[in-house]
Chains A and B, each alone.
Chain A
Amino acid sequence: MLQIDGKNRKLKISLSYAILIVLLVASVLVSLLFGAESLSLRDILAKDGNRFSKIIFTQIRLPRTILALLTGALLAGSGAVFQMYFRNPLAEPGIMGISSGATLGAVIVSTLFMGTVLSNDSTNAVNTTVRSAFMGTVSPVNIGAFFGALVAGLLVTAISNKKTGASATVALLLCGTALGTFYSSLTSILLTAKSESLHTMYMWMLGSFSGRGWDEIILILVPSAISIILMFISCRKLDLLSGGEMTALSLGVEVGRLRMLVIIAGSLATSAAVCAGGTIGFVGLIAPHVVRRIFGAKGKTILPVSMVCGSVLLLFADTVSRVVVRPAEIPVGTITALLGAPFFIMLIFSKRGLKNG
């Protein structure tokens, strides 16, 4: 009986892998083929075809597809790592206050350094230096978000170092949540004080890949790579943690070190993701759950498969956000929740999903 189940299960899992790969390819293709403007394949491939079609494809659509792919992977990956480390199903990239830190960083830049006085030479000088330091057209707001997330991550790491032992995890979780609330209230204060930027910053907070391109990809490439490597290093040890910290300790896992690793990897990933797409919710929460239900709970599997799942989800969501109301757009963060939530609830109640392994 058990053997038959095992065989069945294996078959199901390999089928699921196949479906996932098909979905990934499909989502990339859909993202490349559909947009506000309809581009003909011939124009894109032609050496001297319609130049605007080619420009739109190579300079706007292609980098956006890459960004969505990468961001989805980063968000889902950090969500997976956090969920495994905290052994808490609600953990997601925002849980350590990192997303709120990113928002605060973005709002600080937009309210204190931008849009005040154009005639003021010193502001312009600062603006130009900031720009030239980070090259290209990356919006200062997104750079602010990147550093906001990074600082929030470092702060939480520093705090996590202060406490050791079994209570450290819970303390960290609580501190992260408290800090997140703290950042959010600072954000609200800044936005009420500078209410002109309320509308634009609200749109930024909903998350979107609009206005992002190759420059953002270059900027986040190194942090993304580092964070992905760190996540993979930590995930083997995270498996041992599933039996509890005591068991892990007895198995020789240095829990304190692992904690550092997880937080650094997670905050780097979230910083990069926020810089690329603003604060996009839900992907980091649901992707690991979907994977756990379908593929089982091994860290080795959860991390990479969650990343693929996150990419698929974000690629589809971004395509929807670009196409449904064209030539206008919908913030992608609203789409991820809109599409993701019902699917997620369905999954939780479906009996077909495999039990946690």
Chain B
Amino acid sequence: MKKLICFLAALASSILVAFAEPKKIVVLTPAGSEILCAVGAYSQIAARTDYCDFPKEMKSIPSVGGFDGKTLSLETIVACEPDFVYGAKGMHDYLLSPLKKLGITLYLSNANSIQAVLDEITYIGKYTGHEDEGKKTAVNISKTLDNIRAKLKNVGTVSVYYEVWNAPYMSAGKKSFINEIISTAGGKNIFDTLSEEYPMVSEETIVASKPEVFLIPDMENETLDSIKKRNGWQKIPAVKNGRIYFVNSDVCSRPGPRIAEAVLLIAKQLHPEVAF
């Protein structure tokens, strides 16, 4: 991550006028737009995507298309005459060479851990000319997280099944962002041994692991009732004790400034006995 930041920073300074902060930013990820707004760079954003919907004021900024790389319009991006495009690795890599030709800097976020998100916030703050706000935002998040960690210090972990999808069953593995959120919130993801980010998982193992809590992103239109009706699931502690929680998937899946909020949200559900 750090290497990438250094490389991109070097690239940026060599292509652009050195150290001039970008005035027209096109942001392509929801997390990126949240980071920009958190560091106070809202007024520099020229365009966003349809999915960049938080904070609310983002919605008044014109959009260049959908989230996935292929649904974006390069023409619309370029028409905004941006000096900085903020995307995500794996999603927007294909923009690298066309934008480079036009002399536009592209930053590809690869934040897949809490520390990487904090680093990114600090870096983006500095890069957009809001160094202090960036640092402050990152420090505040760290403090909140430290607070939560301190309160969970003498509390045991709760086993968690996080359901990404149910046909087929898919969960989150070791490398996923949500896995770290769950473990920071005092939980143990039952599939944290799998290396894939979002693997297809065995229903037998879900039942046999006897998870104490289910976390289900609200994107999946499951209801408490429909989960209780699943054959063979009734004896799982989480189902038996009604500990099935629907989490806001925007808050919990975006590697942005709301990660502390996400950890707190989940920690409260995993450990109702602790006063946060």
Contact = CB atoms under 8 A, between A and B. Distances in A.
Contacts of A203: 165, 168, 170, 200
Given A137-B231, A203-B200, A114 B221 contact: yes
Nearest to A131: B226
Contacts of B210: 52
A35 B205 CA distance: 9
A115 B198 CA distance: 18
Contacts of A166: none
A347 interface: no
Interface in A70-123: 113-115, 118, 123
A146 to B, nearest CB: 12
A171 interface: no
A123 B221 contact: yes
B65 to A, nearest CB: 10
Contacts of B230: 137, 213
| 8 residue pairs, one from A and one from B, having the closest CB atoms | A59-B232, A210-B168, A36-B202, A195-B68, A327-B205, A139-B167, A208-B168, A328-B199
Interface string B210-241: 10000000111101001001111001000000
Contacts of A142: 167
Interface string A130-164: 01000011011110000000000000000000000
A137 B51 CA distance: 31
A63 to B, nearest CB: 7
Contacts of A199: 198
B67 interface: yes
14 contacts: A37-B208, A51-B235, A123-B221, A192-B70, A193-B66, A195-B66, A196-B67, A210-B200, A211-B166, A215-B231, A322-B204, A328-B199, A329-B168, A329-B202
Nearest to B190: A327
A63 B200 CA distance: 19
Tell me the interface secondary structure of chain B in the complex.
loop
A327 B190 CA distance: 10
A192 B68 contact: yes
A60 B219 contact: no
A344 interface: no
Interface of A: 35-37, 51-52, 55-56, 58-61, 63, 113-115, 118, 123-124, 127-128, 131, 136-137, 139-142, 192-193, 195-196, 198-200, 203-204, 208, 210-215, 278, 322, 326-331
B68 A198 contact: yes
B244 to A, nearest CB: 14
Given A210-B200, A211-B166, A329-B168, A115 B219 contact: yes
B5 interface: no
Contacts of B170: 200, 203
Contact of A208 (B191, B200, B231, B246): B200
Contact of B167 (A115, A192, A211): A211
Contacts of A37: 202, 204-205, 208
Contacts of B68: 192, 195, 198
Nearest to A321: B200
Which among B201, B203, B220 has the highest number of chain A CB atoms within 10 Å? B203
Chain B CB within 10 A, most for which of A59, A142, A193: A59
A229 to B, nearest CB: 28
B202 to A, nearest CB: 3
A37 B207 CA distance: 10
Contacts of A139: 166-167
A214 B229 CA distance: 11
A213 B230 CA distance: 9
Nearest to A59: B232
A141 B167 contact: yes
Contacts of B67: 195-196
Given A51-B235, A137-B229, A56 B204 contact: yes
Interface in B153-211: 164-170, 173, 191, 193-194, 196, 198-205, 207-208, 210
Contacts of A328: 173, 191, 194, 196, 199-202
A193 B191 CA distance: 31
B66 A210 contact: no
B60 interface: no
A213 B194 contact: no
Given A131-B226, A211-B169, A200 B164 contact: yes
